[in-house]
Structure 1
Amino acid sequence: MSSCAAIGLFAASGAVAQTAPAQPTSAVAEQDAVEEIVVTGSYRRSLEEAVDIKRNTVGFSDSIVATDVANFPEQNLAEALQRIPGVTIERNKGLGGRVSVRGLPSEFTFVTINNLATASGSGGRDVEFDIFASEVIQQVTVQKSPRASDEEGGIAGAVTISTARPFDYSGRKLVASAEGAYNSISEKSDPKVSFLASDTWGDFGALVSFSTARRTNRTDSNSGINFRPMFRFLEAGGTRASQAAAVLARDAGVIVKSNTNRDETGRIIFQDKVGDRAYLNTQDQWGGTLSLQYKPSANFDVAFDAMVGGFDGTEDEYDAAAYSASSRSTLETIHSYDKDTLSKYGMVVLRDVSYTATQHEMLSKERISETDYAQFGTEFNWRGDDWKLHGLAGYSGAKKTIDFSNLKHVAYAPSRTRWTANGGETIKSANPASIDMYNSPSRYLFEAYETTLEKIKDDKYAAQLDFTKDFAFDAFPALKSIQVGARYTDKSKERQYGALNIQGPSKGSTAWLNTRTLADSQLTPIDQLVPGGAYSIRDITWSQISNAYARRTFRYDGFTTPFTPGDFYEVSETVTSLYAMADFGFDVGPVPVAINGGARYVDTSVTSSGYHQVQTPTGGTTYTPEPVSSEGGYDKILPSVNFTAELTDTIVLRAAASETLMRPALTDLAYKRTASWNSFRFTDGNPNLKPTFAKQWEVGVEKYLPEGGLLAASYFSKEIEGVVRQALTGTVKNVTKYNANGSIDGVYDFDVYQPINADGSYKVSGVELVAIVPFGLFYEPLKGFGINANYTILDSSLTGQSIIGVPTPPVGLADKAYNFTLFYENDAFQARVSYNYKDKYVEGIGYEMYPIWREGYGQTDISVSYNLNERVQLSLEGINVTDEATRGYTMDPSFPTMDERSGRRFALGLRMNF
């Protein structure tokens, strides 16, 4: 975005020196390159810098530099990264969040900022990029083939992010920008401002940058339409089970042989829930960097870097939902069924059904999240004639608070629920007791005002020291250098959680249960609850209680959500690493060859402590939390080799092979138990999880063209073992399940699921293609035009995660992804049109049986800028200009699960460079 350009940010030259120390660039040349990029904001020159980084790196990598980020209309750092070959992002309500590399799951990507592992409060290894402002970033490189000195490497790749330092500039620099952005659905305009100031005084320098922005976005969604297996009714016993079996036989010709055989009843499907939802997301994001640098000579420098920021989000969700699988209901009439679409799995899908007692819900949900992150680090480089000593130490931490509430009103009545072309709908049934669920507020009884409070603390410390010695042996001229080093990291996550339901006007009161109705509260039409007018997914409207009214009315004086001791857990992980690697250079005939080879030894210790829910000695359904802790560990040697051969002045052959790992999420290692009451299951953590390992290799060829052009193709293969997945590990008998009003729903057996390391391994292979082509190379009248395109296609051997034998690729893996940017620029004007596409992928497996797919998604973004003079630039940018919807389905597109629209976003910006 143009505001990102404000941060003038930073050229890639310094990063080139870090990435390829064997090929340094002179300080004068570095300064000249920086000045040219900062002044002109040239997208073409930014591509040239990124291509230079790629060429000078031993191994497979791709980069973007600040001016590349600057000239795209991104809302955060994640969306900036999607321009890198092989990188795609996962979107949530129109905003880019987690990053995946080469179509692999986002948790396989390792992320560092200034060479420190990054905390974002998620507790996982995947970083929540939406909290980071792209304006405070200098350069991003995705390292796709690890070296021994890399901290972990990541199975998909390592995203290494760097911020700016004062000596990246030739002198004083001041850049500022302002921007206003407009969302087409919410019809709200949001501000963004940013600046950077940098100066040097002899041997000392200081730099500060800052960015703040607000984002107001509305999303409309018809969703929640998942498969529900018929054992929900058939295992209930009594009339509910017998009537369901009779209706199946009468209306669909399905004869149930055993109500308890889930291999049979799990293949008879009905709709779980249909919801029409309007979301309003308001996000305030700020971030800043500070860098102090002392550089008395070219042989010594020391720097202190700080990066701080915050991300505060409030999401209002207004949900009118019909829960077909309610505890009071069963089948009444099957109007339409499908025995053909999924017949190869022996499955019958009930497409259109009337139910005896659907649970209609009006839900006003409020999610307030506050994240504060900070990173502090110091780094030094000391060089001699033939040696270099490098060290760093730092801290990265995040604190997150999540305050959630759900005001729930319920009406039980017969109704009819069915699939539609893009989702689902609930309408009145032929039963005289049926209701119009959208316009019957007096029928909805207050059930609960549910509140939860969660606090997460995520801390990471690191220290590293390494030594490099250059060699010039006459007896062994191929040996160029040896590098040895050690790194120590300490990571921890602490989580507190509590929940409390309000059911009356004072503590402990239940006066509102079964007496207060939806009509007794102040109701607001949906087109006024969220800005932007009518609900855009379907031609319906309804009224609900605003979250502001709910908070004022239902939270009595002095109310707080207390933390529950039994829900506390803490996980800590320490890693000691030793590594050694060598660089070789020699000629094979006329071909210069460079090889980097080495190995990394990692020794890991894990301590997990918390509480485990233990059944009372007398049995029954009472559970009490007992403190528990576990210690474990593992070690591993990870070899790697990277090979480069310059076949000609413009053609480079690369190859790489390595073994790498991705550690399990800290939250999966924790002692905890989460109950999913409607799914009749407990989910536990597993302190004994091991990492996921991968053996991988890659070979590719690159053709470098003048003016930063590039044509590249590579083939990669990964054998992955120990994948973490949820598995059924036990059963808890005779669990009493209660309704919100305190009545007993029933006594059930609950399945216990835990994350485990799956047996065996699977292979992922793929091809990655890159083309950066300035058209003026081939046809002079097209000078200024060009393309920047990349394409990744994958193939995976993994199938059979479904317990009923439905072939399923790894969760999160997309078969193909591509980016395409057409650009034009001259001295004063720049224009870009970019299309980013990620193919369909499985985002989850319902009931461990049914793969739930996210449909392929493509988004078109545009950016146009004009230099009013050499210091002032005006820009216009658009995100998702074709207003694409996000959709998903279960197993087959004719069974949609979601139709979600977040609208277009346009921004007008002004940048000033002094």
Structure 2
Amino acid sequence: MTIKRKTLIAAGVSAAALFTAAAPAFAQTAPAPATTRTDDAAQVDEVVVTGIRGSLRSAIGVKRNSDLVIEAISSQDIGQLPNVTIAEELVRLPGINGTRDRGNQSQAAIRGLGPRLVLGLVNGREVASSEPDRNIRWEIYPSEIVSGVQVYKSQSADLVSGGIAGTIDIRTVRPLDYRGPEFVGTAGVVYYDAGKDLPDYDPTGYRLSANVTHPVSDTLGLALGATHQVQKNGYSTFEGWGWNDAATGGSPGDVDGDGDLDATFWGAQTQVKRLTETRNGVNGALQWKPSDQFELNLDVLYSDIKIDEDQNQIWYGNNGAYGNYGGSSGWAYGDPTASYTIINNTVVAARLPYASVTNVIAKYTEDKTLFATGLNGKWTSGDWTLTGDLAYSKAERENMWRAIFTEQYPAMAGVDMTPGRTPSAYASYDTGDVSYQPLQSYRPAQADGGNLSDELTTARFDVSRYMGDTGLTDVSFGARVTDRTKEYTRTFWTQAPIIATLPASLLTSFKVSDFDTPSFINGDFDAVAKAAIGGFVQPANSTDTASGWSVDETVAEAYVKAKFAGTLGGLPYTGNIGARAVQVDTTSHGYESVNGGALTPVSIDNDYFQLLPSLNLTLSLAEGQQLRFGLARTMARPPLDELRAGRTLYNTTPPPTGSAGNPLLEPYIANQVDLSYEFYFAPEALFAAAIYYKDVETHIGYSTQPVTINGTTYNVTGPFNGDGGGISGAEFTFQTPFSFVPALENFGIYANFAYVHSDVKEFYPANNPLESTGLAKETATVDLWYSDGKLESRLGYKYHSPFTVITGWDGSALRTLEAETTLDFSASYQLTSNVGFRFQASNLTDEEVRVHYDNDVNRLASQTRFGRRFSLDATFRY
């Protein structure tokens, strides 16, 4: 489904008209402008409210009282943020987009810049990540443990550096913020309809959570929470394997004889995944405030996510018949029985003689854990405030993919990936016949896995002094030091088959309704593996040493910041000015291989320094209106996995070539300016308009460049620094209850629209570079809600235009995620003051996820149907 720009403009005009009509009706009740600020931009006064309406009202309070340009998600109602995970809430904020992984929202892009340029914090602290770079997978944080989220779009000297796109700070529960002991328990079921017809699979999961907050006294509070979730989602995907194109380093031929080279696809696959994901989490908090002068907070978070995924795949053309035109496949296209379709010099469909069809029965498992803890102390004496913070986090991930293959060569086989059609595959006989599934010695069983760990320790100290209500109001300074080590090890081995054909008694076959393809074969994975290879047995030499790497990083930061306030032309203003100095030292470890010879350990050091000034101003205009201005220099450190020192080099034939990481990468750097207008024209109501510009000085992307190593110049493919460019955009937010219409006083709207323009490009493909990762030119959200104290409901619309994504863990795997329009619905009913129920339905229109290669819509990368998600839960509070 697509959306036209004129539709978005019409929606914006409608919202503006509604705002114009509503403002006079609210003129007598609009709150006075806030002219004072708290000492900490993240600590603001919030109204204690509940439910959807309460969350929106609290978020307005956070936004209005902040010193910076921010967006907020907030609720004083424990465990009752509107969505199941924080990731699903984040993508409803202005200018924020996400990608769906296994049917769930995952990583976030902000203002046209991808997840690698977004800094993730928990309670103001950087945390370790089980991703190979620095990215945070936001779905790891269930909504039950979160009291709010703040997304900083402008920068301040006291804010941790690292987020050019923005900084997302998750705030967990503080026990003394709640009145009296409270227990909140939730239990419910979750159902994904895409897996309902898959064999040996029930797509019904469940969620359980319990939270206890107990202010033991006025000075001591405890909080403890636990969550357990089993998610089961089965879905199908059609995937292309890329195209043989001269622009991307290939060797294509003139397939149709018209004198132009035609890109041929390397192959394709259909795939069914049956997921069982088990999530467990525990969080705790201790808050001690013996006086107004001293406060101590200790918080702990543990999360464990296990994935067990049965996979059935069919590969088409892995023998190279489809794509290797310049090598061995020219004969196949020239065969008189062959047929093909070419659009704009791209082969989008072909049926070729004796192309291979490979059936795959596979199992993917993953176990990732996160432990994060921190101790924060705050002491005030007179006009002085001292704050100290110690934090530690560790993330680990262990994953493994194991597969058994059978392979056949029908007289004719092919795929059709023509745009506008449902992808399909063809074989001249039933390659899913369970009576004939030959195992081939050249196609041994395979096990491919990895182990990653990330350990991060931080210490921070801040000092501030209150100076007065006007003029120079506050001076603060502080320092922060982090020590981080991330390392990765790959495991890989193969096992030859011990029989010629899989026993039919172990197998069944099935088809899916999403795509017209040959039958999949299926069987109990362990039983099939035992019959085919005697079971998977990991050998002692299974470590792929050459792929291993580790990076040690130390960051030392110091800042100074001054706040000020006064009047300008009779209008009150507040602001801050400051600078943050950042010193980064890294040591990267890996292994070097030359011409396939013995591995040699390599360690490379690097360091860099940046001074990051910032200025923020807020001018209070007429009643309920304020204007914000921000100016800052920002940086984001390179992805940790791109700093790997390992390299593979060949110099036996000219020119010498190689592939490598780049330990000498410099950080992303940008200078940015923000201007926003906010009008709080009624309680719970807001109209905001923001414009911004980012001058990105340096960018990091994949390319091939000459690099001299040990006196020899190689053409090395890997990550390099390159030119940046400008990013400009505008964002509009409108929210209000319809209180000005008596019959609609329980209804309301939340809507936003964002537009981004950028000339920052990725380095690939060379002839038509992709937009920078995360750049969706247009993003829109419209939520219509109802709340009467007992019954609440929300109908949510979300749209984003196409944008570049990184698929998987390989930073060079750039694709274009096509436009998506999704529709969600939720409703809750409070039966009594103690018992409530909630129903949610996500992706009501069953929107598929479609991705393409090479900035070309004719080159399908994947088309996936995750289906709809339905959940029903009950909440008990006491």
Kept in 2, the 8 Å contact 1:289–1:306? The answer is yes
Residues 845 and 161 of structure 1, relative CA distance in 2, 3 Å threshold: closer
Secondary structure of 2:779's match? strand
How many angstroms does 1:590 deviate by?
Answer: 1.8
Residue in structure 1 matched with residue 671 of structure 2 by the alignment: 695
Change (3 A) 1:549 1:729: farther
> How many residue pairs end up in the alignment?
811
Q: Does 1:426 align with 2:442?
A: no
Tell me which of 179, 198, 201 is aligned to 2:216.
201
Provide closer, same or farther for how the CA distance between residues 364 and 887 of structure 1 changes in structure 2, counting only shifts above 3 A. same
**Offset of residue 289 of structure 1:** 1.0
Equivalent residue number for residue 822 of structure 1: 784
Q: In structure 2, which of residues 172, 190, 193 is the aligned counterpart of residue 163 of structure 1?
A: 172
Structure 2 residue aligned with 1:271 = 265
- For the 8 Å contact 2:701–2:762, the answer to whether it is kept is no
Aligned pair partner of 2:363 in 366, 386, 389: 366
Structure 1 residues 849, 42: closer, same or farther in 2, change over 3 A? Answer: closer
> Which residue is 1:525 aligned to?
509
Name the CA distance, whole Å, in 2 between partners of 1:422 and 1:898. Answer: 13
Contact 1:612 1:673 survives alignment (8 Å): yes
Tell me, in whole angstroms, the C-alpha distance in 1 between the residues paired with 2:156 and 2:733. 23
Structure 2 CA distance for partners of 1:695 and 1:683, relative to 1, 3 Å = same
- Using the TM superposition, give the Cα deviation of residue 833 of structure 1 relative to its aligned residue in structure 2, in angstroms: 0.6
Q: Does 1:766 align with 2:729?
A: yes
1:647 and 2:621 correspond = yes
- Residue identity opposite 2:721 in structure 1: N
Q: Which residue of 2 aligns with 1:573?
A: 553
**What is the alpha-carbon distance in structure 1 between the residues aligned to residue 582 and residue 364 of structure 2?**
39
Provide closer, same or farther for how the CA distance between residues 353 and 880 of structure 1 changes in structure 2, counting only shifts above 3 A: closer
Query: What are the Cα deviations for residues 247-298 of structure 1, in whole angstroms up to 9, with x where unaligned?
Result: x47x43237xxxxxxxxxxx52112222221111111111121111211112
**3-state DSSP of counterpart to 1:393:** strand
1:614 aligns with 2:594: yes
Deviation at 1:799, TM superposition (A): 4.7
Q: Closer, same or farther in 2 for the Cα pair 1:543/1:301, shift >3 Å?
A: same
2:551 is matched by which residue type in structure 1?
A: V
CA deviations on 1:18-56 (whole Å, 9 max, x unpaired) are 983379999xx87xx44xx3xxx3211221111011110
Cα distance in 2 for residues equivalent to 1:368 and 1:68: 36
Q: Is it true that 1:415 corresponds to 2:413 in the alignment?
A: yes
Q: Match for residue 330 of structure 2? A: 330
Give TM-score, length-normalised by structure 2: 0.86
Are the structure 2 counterparts of residues 835 and 766 from structure 1 closer, same or farther at C-alpha, using a change threshold of 3 Å?
same
Deviations 1:94-136 (A, max 9, x none): 1111111123211110001012212221131211223232211
Q: Structure 1's 86 and 416: CA in aligned 2 closer, same or farther, altered over 3 A?
A: closer
1:144 aligned residue (132, 150, 153): 153
Gaps in structure 2 of 5+ consecutive residues: 1-33, 197-202, 651-655, 709-713
**1:252 maps onto 2:257 in alignment:** yes
Q: Residue 200 of structure 2 aligns with which residue?
A: none
What corresponds to 1:531 in structure 2?
Answer: none
* Structure 2 residue aligned with 1:353: 350
Gaps of 5+ in 1: 1-15, 236-243, 256-266, 343-347, 429-433, 505-510, 528-533, 616-621, 733-749
Q: CA deviation at 1:226?
A: 3.0
Q: Which amino acid aligns with 1:861?
A: D
1:792 equivalent to 2:754? Answer yes
- Is the CA contact 2:123–2:171 (under 8 Å) kept in the aligned structure 1? yes
Q: State the shift of 1:234 in Å.
A: 9.1
Alignment of 1:710-725 (within 5 A): 710-725=686-701
Deviation of 1:606 after TM superposition, in Å, equals 0.1
Aligned to 2:284: 290
For the 8 Å contact 2:404–2:529, the answer to whether it is kept is: no
Equivalents in 1 of 2:536, 2:872: separation in Å? 45
Whether the 8 Å contact between 1:855 and 1:888 is mirrored in structure 2 is yes
Question: Which SS does the other structure have where 1:722 is aligned?
Answer: strand
Amino acid at match of 1:490: D
CA gap of 1:25–1:372, structure 2 versus 1, over 3 A, is closer
Q: Distance in 2 between matches of 1:329 and 1:655?
A: 60
Q: 1:208 to 1:443 in 2, by over 3 A?
A: closer
Deviations 1:186-230 (A, max 9, x none): 232211111111212333221101111110001111222532227
Range with bigger deviation, 539-548 or 642-651 = 539-548
Aligned residue identity for 2:607: G
Q: Distance in 2 between matches of 1:524 and 1:836?
A: 40
Equivalence for 1:11: none
CA contact (8 A) 1:802 1:845 kept: no
Residue among 433, 439, 454 paired with 2:450: 454
Establish whether residue 90 from structure 1 lines up as the match of residue 75 from structure 2: no
Answer yes or no: is the 8 Å Cα contact 1:337–1:349 preserved in 2: no
Q: Which amino acid aligns with 1:523?
A: L
Contact 1:328–1:357 (Cα < 8 Å) also in 2: no
Aligned partner of 1:727 among 687, 703, 710: 703
Contact 1:73 1:861 in 2 (8 A): no
Report if aligned partners of 1:103, 1:816 keep a CA contact under 8 Å in 2.
no
**Alpha-carbon spacing, 1:350–1:559, altered in 2? closer, same or farther (3 Å):** closer
User: Within 2, Cα distance between the matches of 1:410 and 1:671?
Assistant: 38
The C-alpha deviation readout for 1:685-704, integer Å capped at 9, x for no partner, is 11111110111101011110
CA 1:408–1:696 in 2, change beyond 3 Å: closer, same or farther?
Answer: same
The answer (yes or no) to whether the contact 2:80–2:143 under 8 Å persists in 1 is: no
Letter in 2 for 1:193: L
Q: Distance in 2 between matches of 1:290 and 1:775?
A: 39
SS in 2 for 1:199: strand
Q: Is the 8 A contact 1:411 1:445 kept in 2?
A: no
Is 2:61 the partner of 1:61? no
In the alignment, the residues of structure 2 paired with residue 538 and residue 72 of structure 1 have an alpha-carbon distance, to the nearest angstrom, of 41
8 Å contact from structure 1 (residues 271, 417) kept in 2: no
Deviation at 1:785, TM superposition (A): 0.6
Pair 641,866 (structure 1): closer, same or farther in 2 beyond 3 Å: same
Measured in 2, the distance between the counterparts of 1:392 and 1:470 equals 21
CA distance in 2: counterparts of 1:673 and 1:548, whole angstroms? 37
Q: State which of 114, 134, 140 in structure 1 corresponds to 2:123.
A: 114
Partner Cα distance (1:823, 1:137) in 2: 22
Tell whether the 8 Å contact from 2:247 to 2:765 is kept in structure 1 after alignment.
Answer: no
CA distance in structure 2 between the aligned counterparts of 1:116 and 1:231, rounded to whole angstroms:
43
Please state whether the residue corresponding to 1:48 is helix, strand or coil.
Answer: helix
Q: Give me the whole-angstrom Cα distance separating, in 1, the residues matched to 2:639 and 2:37.
A: 29
Q: Does 2:235 correspond to 1:219? A: yes
| Separation in 2, partners of 1:300, 1:115 | 19
Cα distance in 2, alignment partners of residues 68 and 222 from structure 1: 42
Does the 8 Å CA contact 1:331/1:355 hold for their aligned counterparts?
no
Q: Displacement of 1:445 after TM fit? A: 3.2
CA contact (8 A) 2:244 2:264 kept: yes
User: 2:653 corresponds to which residue?
Assistant: none
Contact 1:230 1:270 (8 Å CA) reproduced: no
Aligned residue in 2 for 1:6: none
Counterpart of 1:690 in 2: which secondary structure? coil
In the TM superposition, residue 71 of structure 1 has moved relative to its aligned partner by: 5.4
Match 2:514 to one of 536, 546, 562: 536
Report how far residue 724 of structure 1 moved.
1.1
Letter in 2 for 1:525: S
Whether the 8 Å contact between 2:434 and 2:507 is mirrored in structure 1 is: no
2: distance between equivalents of 1:166 and 1:659?
Answer: 36
Tell me, yes or no, if the aligned pair for 2:55 and 2:81 is still in contact at 8 Å.
no
Assess, with a 3 A threshold, how the Cα gap between structure 1 residues 388 and 672 changes in structure 2: closer, same or farther: same
Q: Give the 3 Å change call, closer, same or farther, for CA 844–295 of structure 1 in structure 2.
A: closer
The aligned residue for residue 833 of structure 2 is 870
Aligned to 2:274: 280
In structure 2, how many angstroms separate the alpha carbons of the residues matched to 1:391 and 1:848?
36
Query: 1:737 maps to which residue?
Result: none
Counterpart position of 1:210: 226
